[in-house]
Amino acid sequence: MILTIEHIKKVITDYFAQKPVKRVWLFGSYARVEADEIAMWMCWWTIKPFIDTDKQIIYERDASR
């Protein structure tokens, strides 16, 4: 099952709202909106060089908290 970025953002925001986390990054094929069944099975070390290039912030704690 391929998840939408909006669905991921909602789940992440709900989960981290009460956690001491400032930012959560989305990277890889999901950040580029190219996710498919093959991408879901890739090993993290295969994509590690691309993480910083592709990452998109999907959650940031409100500074007033």
Summarised one tens digit per residue, pLDDT across range 19-56 is 888 888 887 778 888 777 666 655 555 666 777 788 88
pLDDT(9) > 70 = yes
pLDDT(63) > 80 = no
- Please name the residues in contact with 26: beta carbons below 8 A apart, sequence gap of 6 or more: 5, 8, 55, 56, 57, 58
pLDDT of amino acid 40: 60
DSSP E strands in 1-65: the ranges are: 23-26, 56-60
pLDDT of amino acid 47: 64
Q: Six-digit token pair at 46?
A: 């295969």
d(CA 13, CA 54): 20
Q: Structure pTM?
A: 0.55
